[in-house]
Amino acid sequence: MSDEPSPDNPNASTEAAAPEVWHRVHPLTPILESLGVLVGIFVAAAYGLQNFFQSAVEDLASGRSVNLTFAEWLGAHPLVILAVVGGIILVLLLTALFSWLAWRVMGYRVDAEAIYYRRGLLSKKLRKARLDRVQSIDLQQKLLPRLLGMAELVFDVAGGTDSNISLKYLSKKRAEELRDELLSAVRSRRQGHTRTEATPGIPGSASSASGPVGDGSVGSEVAADGAAADLGADSSGVTGPADGTTGPGGQSGTDLSVPERGGDSLGVRLTKRLGTLADEVSEEAESSLGDLLAPYNLNPRVGDEGEIIRVPVHRVVVSSLLKTETLVSVAVVIIVVITAIVLLAFGIKEAFFPILVGVLPGVFMAFSVFRKNLDNANFVVRLGENGLAVNHGLFSTSRKVIPLDRIQAVALHQPLLWRWAGWWEAQFNIASDGGKTESNLLLPVGDIDQALLMVGLSLPDPQLPEGIGADTLVRSAMYDRKSADPNAAAAEELFHPQPRSSRLVDPFVWKRRAYALTDSMLVLRLGILDRRVDFVPHVRVQSLRYYQGPLMRALNLGSVAVHSTAGPITPLVKHQSMDGAKRFFNEHAERTRIARQTFDAAAKSAHTNRTQALEEDEG
């Protein structure tokens, strides 16, 4: 019997496998990836020229003639010049040949299950990203690829460090088309999974047997001598999926089949209310957004294609100049230049020019710091069906999606010199970030309303006592006793300050540093020169750790680390009284355990009800 598919035998048990079709990347990809070597050669040559120029300037300053012995020797031996030129041409030809061969073996392939990326001429590598593990697909354009009309696709894959795949480089048009195709495929697989029952062992299910996050329990530890402190904490600890996802099958994105839950961020609840958002968000989206953000006393506006925030370029430029690292770099350059001028005024000409030449690395460092901040220019945030769609970049551009259901913690930060303008920066920790090293930004710089908007979308309803609004709590955390909110005194009563005994170890910040607990999150108020506020939803806490060093023990103090995923935010309830720290440890362990159980139970109940409905329909 033939196994070939035919009209008479459409469901043959064995079908001819579809051929593997590999697509090549842009031909200039190997050259762009080897630019680092060429830049290194250029830097080495520039260093040699700098030494020659410095020696020439010193000779002229001292009245001596410039030493041209080496140049005269080259003039007397023209064959050496020809050999050098020939060597350079040979290196360029070999580089071109190697790049062509490397391009021939580079390629990508997409099937129904995954995307594959291969490369390597001598050492071959093959990377695979399963579509059901893809969290987001970002489109990035660095300066040179952008000028050449090329783009890079970065696949954020759940799986920890070094699990991401970077597809370099494609034409911008092809990159956008492939990104849309793959996002559609990811959504299709996600929707297919929502029709299946949650089973034991699947991350995100309440019946998961994968075990708790981190070390498996809310442990306690004395940092000084390693002895465990018996605090009576619940040994079950804080459990939950390591990647923070809650959808069926560990899927990223919002599981629309699960009803709204108390632990959901307001942005996730908005997505569940509206379902799949169109490219142009309707008035219903703006109305629903306003209703959800009512506790923050905001009236958000939804613009074209769902735009909710746009940061002007001039604001990014000014804020970058006022950042501490930029000011330090500029100050070092100014001090060196002033030193050179003073030496010249005292007649020490031999040191003047070398110092001026030596200041060039400091100028480059200051420029690099400033340029790094400029990467956040043209920062635009839009509401999307998978989370917040963020575009930014001046010279190099990037498009990424921040899945709101994977945000584990949020922080607001205000450098000292931003106070005059009332600007704040918003950062976040996200699960399964694939070992990214860049700062996770919700907002590079914005006013108080924009900061409250990003905090509101990223966090669940704070569930505060009657009479205290979410904006009152956040403003009190940001400005402490300087908050102008009429209910600031009531909100201030929610904060637990450090005891007076901690002023010996925190002489400047002990009066400001405090924490507040609501029914849904922990709020930490930190910093005095650079203000900072950390927000950690109870349902996202992975574990807790109590510790006490010798000095803290002598002062009867203790601290509790609240463990989140890797990122710029490291929540820490620091230097509380020993009894207060232990009480917080025990109560918060129980609070987070119950929050996680309630959160997962809603998903399990929804999947069970849906499975029963499907079985009844099939019956």
Looking at the structure, do residues 377 and 332 belong to the same domain, yes or no?
yes
* 25: in domain: yes
* 533: in domain: yes
Distance CA 287, CA 606 (A): 27
Q: Pseudo-torsion of CA 227, 229, 230, 232, nearest 10°?
A: -140
Distance CA 592, CA 576 (A): 20
| Domain end among 150, 173, 192 | 192
Q: What is the mean pLDDT for each group of 10 consecutive residues in the chain (619 residues)?
A: 44 48 84 70 66 65 61 71 80 80 85 84 82 79 84 76 76 86 74 45 33 37 37 37 38 59 75 56 69 86 83 90 79 80 74 69 71 83 81 84 88 93 93 56 93 92 88 93 85 93 92 93 93 94 92 94 90 94 94 89 72 64
Q: What is the DSSP string of 336-392?
A: HHHHHHHHHHTT-HHHHHHHHHHTHHHHHHHHHHHHHHHTTTTEEEEEETTEEEEEE
pLDDT at 80: 74
| Six token digits for residue 496 | 């637990």
Query: Is-contact 264 520, C-beta < 8 A?
Result: no
- Give the single-character DSSP code of 264: S
Q: Provide the sign of the torsion angle of the four alpha carbons 375, 376, 382, 385, taken in this order.
A: positive
CB atoms inside a 10 Å sphere around CB 60 = 12
Kindly report the CATH number assigned to the domain that includes residue 510.
Answer: 2.30.29.30
Looking at the structure, do residues 177 and 88 belong to the same domain, yes or no?
no
Looking at the structure, do residues 99 and 143 belong to the same domain, yes or no?
no
* 120: in domain: no
* 197: in domain: no
pLDDT at 123: 79
Distance CA 124, CA 146 (A): 28
* 265: in domain: yes
Looking at the structure, do residues 510 and 554 belong to the same domain, yes or no?
yes
Taking each helix axis from N to C end, the angle separating 266-274 and 283-292, rounded to the nearest 10 degrees, works out to 150
| Six token digits for residue 120 | 């390597």
pLDDT at 617: 64
* 14: in domain: no
Beta pairing, strands 495-497 & 514-517: antiparallel
> Strand, coil or helix: what is 69?
helix
CB atoms inside a 10 Å sphere around CB 292 = 21
pLDDT at 443: 94
**Backbone φ and ψ of 558, nearest 5°:** -150, 155
Looking at the structure, do residues 89 and 163 belong to the same domain, yes or no?
no
Looking at the structure, do residues 389 and 474 belong to the same domain, yes or no?
no
The position carrying tokens 């998961």 is 208
- Give the single-character DSSP code of 438: S
| Domain end among 105, 137, 164 | 105
pLDDT at 573: 95
Query: Is-contact 266 456, C-beta < 8 A?
Result: yes
Looking at the structure, do residues 129 and 97 belong to the same domain, yes or no?
no
Looking at the structure, do residues 503 and 581 belong to the same domain, yes or no?
yes
pLDDT at 13: 41
* 83: in domain: yes
* Whole-model pTM over 0.95: no
Distance CA 510, CA 136 (A): 41
pLDDT at 43: 67
| Domain end among 167, 192, 217 | 192
Distance CA 500, CA 506 (A): 10
* 439: in domain: no
Residue ranges making up the domain that contains 97: 21-105
Looking at the structure, do residues 148 and 92 belong to the same domain, yes or no?
no
Taking each helix axis from N to C end, the angle separating 349-358 and 35-61, rounded to the nearest 10 degrees, works out to 170
Looking at the structure, do residues 133 and 264 belong to the same domain, yes or no?
no
Looking at the structure, do residues 136 and 95 belong to the same domain, yes or no?
no
Number of domains the chain contains: 4
Looking at the structure, do residues 281 and 374 belong to the same domain, yes or no?
yes
